Every structure is written in structure tokens, then in C-alpha cells.
């Protein structure tokens, strides 16, 4: 200490103290800075929820209630989770028209993905529910297509048809065609069970099962699916086949018959 004390009037002493002070402040800053950033994150989240709430108030509250509690025109959305919001709004089902038919149809989405995320964040903040799945959950890696086919035939085909072409339900309701539905939305639909569809939570169909089903659908009803037999005729089975056989099969043959019958040996006019 004596040494230190003796050098306190050294010309460089001030510099050393300054350096120490800077290091100290920097260190303190370094210690506190992450906390500050977290606070910033939280405020960003709050901001998202705030934005989501604004969107909700404008576009959804008239049916689902100002606090998501539901009204006579729409069910409560508390606890449906971000996955349900992402599914309903991304596929254009929500917001629904005021006078729907038997079922809310799929249509063009009117919110962009950022707005949908904000809405989802707001709804998720109202009560715990399934989150939006990630690419790792619905992507094709590690999926067993054949197993997915078996699961699909066991759980989905009775409404959506063998390869997801859709089918009729009672009183004008229907299981929609799965043509061109994004894997994420199929996953979300299984998770949340929109409209007439039962939900298949992870306790019923595990994450792996859902992945398998999506991979199967992609294999048999995807953009790159080949049809080895030619035109699929809608993939609807014997009804469209019967129609095709009558119109084009028998139709062509009757045309051929008329053609053959019209060409006959004529007696020579001498």
C-alpha cells in the first residue's frame, strides 16, 4: 500500500485511475446490459401483443368479443392457441363473412404473415394453447411415408378421401380437399381441430405421427406426385370413372359405330 500511496502523485496516476474507472463502468455495463436487452425483448413482445390487440379489435372483436370471450356470433378464442389463429387466418377462413353457409370456406388470406403473428401473439396471451409448429415438426426429414399412409387411412380418409380429395358431411358441411394446403396448416389443423374436424393433440397422434401423415399426403397428393395411370379424374373413385367410361369410352365407340355404319358398300350406278 505504501508503494501505491507513494506513487499517487505520479504523473500517470490520473491515467491509471481513469482506466480503472472505465474498466469498472464497462464491466458494470457488461453485467447489466443483458438484462436491459431482455427488457427490450419483452417490450417488443408487448408491442406485438399490443399490435395484435389492435388488429383483433378492428377485425375480430365484433364476433369473438372485445376480450376474446366470444359472443353469440362467434366462439371464445381464449386458450385456442397461436396455432389455431395461424391456421384460421392464414387459410383465409377468418375473418369469416357475416352470413356463412353451412361451413366457413377456405379463401384468400387478407392479413399478411406479420399481422397474423401479431394476432396469434395476442390470442396466445389470453390463455395457454398450442403454439405454431416449426419447420422441424412438419418438415419431411425423418418421416415414414408408408406409416403416414396407414395413419391417414385410419384417421383421416373417412372424411377426406383416400388421398385427401375431400368429402361430404351432413347438412352441406364438408371435409375440404387437402390439395395445395401447406404442411404447416395441415399440422395446425390436426393439432387444433378447426370447425367440424376433431382435434388430434399429441397424446392422440404424436408429433412423429403428424409428420408421417404430412409426408404421406405430400407423396400422394403433392405438387410432384406422379400419376402412373394417366389422368386421375379427380381421384374421386368409381363415380368419376363411371362418368368417364360413359361419356368418353362409350361415347367414342358410338361415334365409331355411326362412322362405320355410314360407310357402306354402294350398288354401282352404271
Partner 1 sequence: MSTTTTPESRSRGKAPAGERVADWADGRLGIYSLAKANMRKIFPDHPSFMLGEICLYSFLIIILTGVYLTLFFHPSMNEVEYHGSYVPMQGQLMSEAYKSTLDISFDVRGGLLIRQIHHWAALVFLAGMFIHMMRVFFTGAFRKPREINWLFGFLLFVLGMFTGFTGYSLPDDLLSGTGIRFMEGAILSVPIVGTYISFFLFGGEFPGDDFVARFFSIHVLLLPGIMLGLVVAHLILVFYHKHTQFAGPGKTNKNVVGMPLLPVYMAKAGGFFFLVFGVLAAVAAIATINPIWAIGPYRPDMVSTGAQPDWYMGFSEGLIRVMPGWEINFWGHTLVLGVFIPLLIFPLVLVAIAVYPFIESWVTGDKREHHILDRPRNVPTRTAFGVAWITLYFVLLVGGGNDLWATHFHLSINAITWFVRIAFFVAPVLAFIVTKRICLGLQRRDKDKVLHGRESGIIKRLPHGEFIEVHEPLSQEQLHTLTAHEQYQPAEIGPAVDENGVRRKVSATEKLRAKLSKGYYGDDGQIPKPTVEEYKEITSGHGHH
Q: Which is nearer to partner 1, 26 or 249 (CB)?
A: 249
Among 170, 224, 269, 270, contact with partner 1 (rule: CB under 8 A): 170
Nearer to partner 1, 9 or 263 (CB): 263
Site string for partner 1, 74-113 (x = CB under 8 A): ---------------------------xx-----------
| DSSP-derived secondary structure letter, 64 | H
Identify residues 182-221 at the interface with partner 1 (CB under 8 A).
Answer: 216, 219-220
Stretch that binds partner 1, among 23-31, 36-44, 51-59, 230-238 (CB under 8 A): 230-238
Nearest alpha carbon to residue 82 among 135, 136, 43, 118: 118
52 lies in the binding site for partner 1 (CB under 8 A): no
H or E element that contains 167: strand 167-168
Hey, CA dihedral for 66, 67, 71, 74, is it positive or negative? Answer: positive
Q: What's the CA gap between 116 and 113, in Å, rounded?
A: 5
Q: Is 174 helix (H, G, I), strand (E, B) or coil?
A: strand
ω into residue 95 within 30 of 0, thus cis?
yes
Contacts with partner 1, 117-156, as mask; x by CB under 8 A: ----------------------------xxx-xx--xx--
Among left, alpha and beta (phi > 0; psi -120 to 50; other), residue 141 is beta
Q: Which of 199, 214, 202, 222 has the alpha carbon at shortest distance from 151?
A: 214
Question: Is 239 one of the binding residues for partner 1 (CB under 8 A)?
Answer: yes
Binding site for partner 1 (CB under 8 A): 101-102, 145-147, 149-150, 153-154, 157-163, 165-172, 174-175, 216, 219-220, 227-233, 235-246, 248-250, 252-254, 256-258, 260-262, 264-265
Amino acid at each position: 500500500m505504501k508503494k501505491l500511496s507513494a506513487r499517487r502523485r505520479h504523473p500517470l496516476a490520473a491515467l491509471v485511475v481513469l482506466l480503472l474507472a472505465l474498466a469498472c463502468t464497462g464491466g458494470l455495463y457488461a453485467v447489466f446490459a443483458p438484462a436491459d436487452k431482455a427488457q427490450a425483448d419483452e417490450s417488443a413482445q408487448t408491442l406485438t401483443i399490443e399490435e395484435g390487440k389492435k388488429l383483433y379489435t378492428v377485425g375480430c372483436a365484433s364476433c369473438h368479443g372485445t376480450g376474446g370471450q366470444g359472443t353469440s356470433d362467434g366462439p371464445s378464442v381464449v386458450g385456442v392457441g397461436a396455432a389455431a389463429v395461424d391456421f384460421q387466418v392464414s387459410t383465409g377462413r377468418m375473418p369469416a363473412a357475416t352470413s356463412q353457409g353451412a361451413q366457413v370456406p377456405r379463401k384468400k388470406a387478407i392479413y399478411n404473415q406479420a399481422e397474423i403473428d401479431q394476432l396469434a401473439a395476442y390470442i396466445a396471451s389470453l390463455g395457454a394453447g398450442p403454439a405454431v409448429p416449426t419447420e422441424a415438426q412438419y418438415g419431411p426429414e425423418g418421416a415414414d411415408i408408408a406409416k403416414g399412409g396407414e395413419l391417414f387411412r385410419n384417421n383421416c380418409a373417412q372424411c377426406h378421401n383416400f388421398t385427401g380429395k375431400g368429402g361430404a358431411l351432413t347438412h352441406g358441411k364438408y371435409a375440404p380437399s387437402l390439395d395445395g394446403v401447406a404442411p404447416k396448416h395441415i399440422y395446425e389443423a390436426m393439432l387444433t381441430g378447426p370447425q367440424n374436424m376433431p382435434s388430434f393433440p399429441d397424446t392422440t397422434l404424436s408429433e412423429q405421427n403428424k409428420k408421417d401423415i404430412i409426408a404421406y399426403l405430400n407423396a400422394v397428393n403433392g405438387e410432384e406426385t406422379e400419376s402412373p395411370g394417366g389422368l386421375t379424374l379427380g381421384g374421386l373413385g368409381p363415380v368419376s370413372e363411371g362418368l368417364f367410361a360413359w361419356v368418353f369410352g362409350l361415347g367414342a365407340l358410338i361415334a365409331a359405330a355411326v362412322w362405320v355404319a355410314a360407310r357402306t358398300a354402294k350398288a354401282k350406278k352404271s
